[in-house]
Chain A
Amino acid sequence: MAPDRPSDSTDTVVGLARTLRAAGVDASPDRVHALMSALSLLDPALRADVYWAGRLTLCSSADDVRRYDRVFAAYFGDRPAALVRRPVAPAAQLKLVSMSAGDEGGPAPDTDDEASAVPAAASRTEILRYRDIASLSASDRMLLARLLAAFALPGEARRTRRTTPGRGSTVDRRRTLQQLLRSGGEPVEIATRVRRLQPRRVVLLVDVSGSMSAYADALLRFAHAASHRLRGPATEVFTVGTRLTRVTREMAHRDADVALRAIAEAVPDWSGGTRLGDLVKHFLDEWGQRGMARGAVVVVLSDGWERGDPTMLGEQMARLHRLAHRVVWSNPRAGRAGFAPVAGGMAAALPHVDEFVSGHSLAALERLAALVAGARDPAASGHIRPIVASRRLAHA
């Protein structure tokens, strides 16, 4: 940034974009270029014009807009004529951004790109712990391979509005006309199309709270295997503890080691408490009701220990149950002898769960994978029917 450079505004804009990238907004060069041409059409001396030009060209989601607002305020401060004055060096700004985020009571550490953490209620004390994930051992690789095999099943199907040639009732006009032409207009067999089937979306909510810490690794491996099933729409993965974190993007890496390391960095609430009810609600408000949970197979991997009010969890599970095609709850403690789902949260959630299965061992996870991937035979999937579980509850 030499002071005598003619295009002072270019430096400023590039600096702004760099700061935005550090805050997780994908302000790519082509977007910066768009911002420059937008500014040439507006008045770069007006703060509002600079603000809107930047927001319209550099952002691409509501989350981006929130980050942009924060960065813009920190970057330009209270200076009125935004592009006339020199900005502070971006490196110094970077700290400012994350600090101001904490001050606002927003997500404390600005997490990675897609992993948008949800702030917990201010009054509650949270234990935020980042954790290390050990590299895959040979036996882990075995586990992964077996899970992947289980996920190779076609998955529960949903009839889509797309069609494909086949024996159906809809006439395939194009093909029929072509055949007619070929036969010189003589009536021929009418070509038809059928609706295509597609596997349903799978959404996983993985509990990473303290009571689940013994299982977290295995469950995340499971989630990774689910993310890489061959067919169907992408599997969405969220971690649940004191916060809800979307880790779908982190799961995308083919190498489970790399993916899990990325998740370890993105998830701020390892081994803390559980606020299942709040977080299921948050999931439904932000993603589920908008469409992610609609017609999907939703799997909750949790022991059902709820620190908050169990009634809230019950209500939210009922809501989830109405939206989703099927709700599966996998409880690692359910495999133990003498288990009864009496933990407040578990008992409240159980009436709104289609399948209640154990998840304590590799074999159990394998069965769960098969269940998620479409196996419906109760004997094959080896699950406890909710009704059986509630009878046990009565005995207890």
Chain B
Amino acid sequence: MELSSPGELAEALDAVGYLPDDGVATAAYLALTMRRPLFVEGDAGVGKTALARSLAAVLDAPLIRLQCYEGIDAAQALYDWDFPRQLLHLRAVEAASHGDSAGTSADAARLEGELYSRRFLIARPLLQAIETSPCVLLVDEVDRADDEFEAFLLEVLSDFTVSIPELGTIRADSPPVVVVTSNRTREVHDALKRRCLYHWVEHPSFDREVAIVRRRCPNASDRLAAEVTAAVQRLREEDLLKPPGVAETLDWTEALLALGAQHLDADTATRTLGAVLKYREDHDRIARGGLPHLLAEAVGGA
């Protein structure tokens, strides 16, 4: 798809159900045109992962996701050898040659070549992304991985080639679109960020968030969407351990819809508060500290 401005990309994203603000649209547009990875950082639940998914939909390309976790290494991120099949192959060759004269060293070399051929190679997300063109590669929650992995990722992201000692070098035809997300549980190394465009995602404005709720929960009435959004935005101003994100707004709306609520009142809100507040301290504090008052304030303002 040809896109000639951030505005056009914003419309395209809108069409697949993601409502970007100017910043996200410009960031994504530049990432696509400059062919640079996009490093997206922000609180949990502001739609970082959803952005990558929507970009894949806009480009009509597969989304390849690499979920990071502590201790992730090349065997889980890049490629691995299919050990059981290699063993089977080894035994099969043995059985076939049984009775022949003892294997020569040439046989051994040939056998080794067979064992380390492409058909015994398992492509993990990074190798898949290099071999699939075009595609969107999502490196999710890179802050959960450790320093060693970051250095390794940096190497792959800088030239999109993978060298496998037994096979040779595999190069991407055209570099994939890369979205790297971080929840900021720790600072990611500067060298990695320097390769990327950096975007800090804020919570959306009231109007945008209402639009997102309307889009993602089509069954919710205008009134419900506006009231839930107003309440969540009001909750974000409170001094909470975990301020609710857009994901929580959607969860809350779903929860209220499941109860058949047409609008937000103190009773239904108290019963469904667990969809928005995920810490006992936050829950207690809001439930004790006058939820009806807070709701009246938020809903009255909406």
| Binding partners A and B | yes
Interface residues of A (CB under 8 A from B): 26, 28, 30-31, 34, 37-38, 41-42, 48-49, 52-53, 55-57, 59-62, 64-65, 160-162, 173-174, 176-177, 180-181, 184-185, 285, 289-292, 319
Given known A52-B27, A181-B112, contact A290–B186 (CB-CB < 8 A): yes
Residues of A within 8 Å of B152, CB to CB, are none
Residues of A within 8 Å of B184, CB to CB, are 62, 290
| A184 pairs with B108, CB closer than 8 A | yes
Nearest to B196 among chain A residues (CB) is A60
Query: A278 CB to closest chain B CB, in angstroms?
Result: 11
Nearest to B83 among chain A residues (CB) is A173
Q: Point out the residue from A42, A62, A160, A285 that lies within 8 Å of B71, measured CB to CB.
A: A160
Determine the interface band of chain B, counting residues with CB < 8 A from chain A.
35 or more
Which residues B44-85 have CB closer than 8 A to chain A? Answer: 69-73, 81, 83
Given known A162-B71, A174-B81, A177-B81, contact A291–B186 (CB-CB < 8 A): yes
Q: Point out the residue from B30, B71, B281 that lies within 8 Å of A41, measured CB to CB.
A: B30
Query: A263 CB to closest chain B CB, in angstroms?
Result: 19
Residues of A within 8 Å of B197, CB to CB, are 34, 38, 56-57
| B70 pairs with A52, CB closer than 8 A | no
| A56 pairs with B185, CB closer than 8 A | no
Query: A203 CB to closest chain B CB, in angstroms?
Result: 12
| B41 pairs with A41, CB closer than 8 A | no
Q: How far is the CA of A48 from the CA of B25 in the complex (A)?
A: 12
Contact string, B88-105, partner A, CB cutoff 8 A, digits 1/0? 001101100000000100
| A56 pairs with B33, CB closer than 8 A | no
Given A38-B197, A161-B71, A174-B81, 5 other A-B contacts at CB below 8 A?
A41-B34, A52-B22, A55-B23, A60-B198, A180-B90
Query: B171 CB to closest chain A CB, in angstroms?
Result: 23
Residues of A within 8 Å of B112, CB to CB, are 181
Nearest to B93 among chain A residues (CB) is A185
Query: A216 CB to closest chain B CB, in angstroms?
Result: 26
Q: How far is the CA of A184 from the CA of B148 in the complex (A)?
A: 35
| B90 pairs with A185, CB closer than 8 A | yes
Report the 7 A-B pairs with minimum CB-CB distance, sorted nearest first: A161-B71, A291-B185, A173-B83, A52-B26, A60-B193, A290-B185, A185-B94
Q: How far is the CA of A139 from the CA of B281 in the complex (A)?
A: 49
| B198 pairs with A289, CB closer than 8 A | no
Residues of B within 8 Å of A62, CB to CB, are 41, 184, 200
Q: Point out the residue from A162, A180, A285 that lies within 8 Å of B87, measured CB to CB.
A: A180
Query: B183 CB to closest chain A CB, in angstroms?
Result: 7
Residues of B within 8 Å of A292, CB to CB, are 185-186
Residues of A within 8 Å of B103, CB to CB, are 184
Q: How far is the CA of A285 from the CA of B27 in the complex (A)?
A: 28
5 A-B contacts, Cβ less than 8 Å apart? A34-B36, A52-B6, A60-B190, A181-B111, A292-B185
Nearest to B190 among chain A residues (CB) is A60
Q: How far is the CA of A176 from the CA of B143 in the complex (A)?
A: 33
Q: How far is the CA of A52 from the CA of B26 in the complex (A)?
A: 7
Query: A46 CB to closest chain B CB, in angstroms?
Result: 10
Which residues B198-218 have CB closer than 8 A to chain A? Answer: 198-200
| B71 pairs with A48, CB closer than 8 A | no
Query: B51 CB to closest chain A CB, in angstroms?
Result: 14
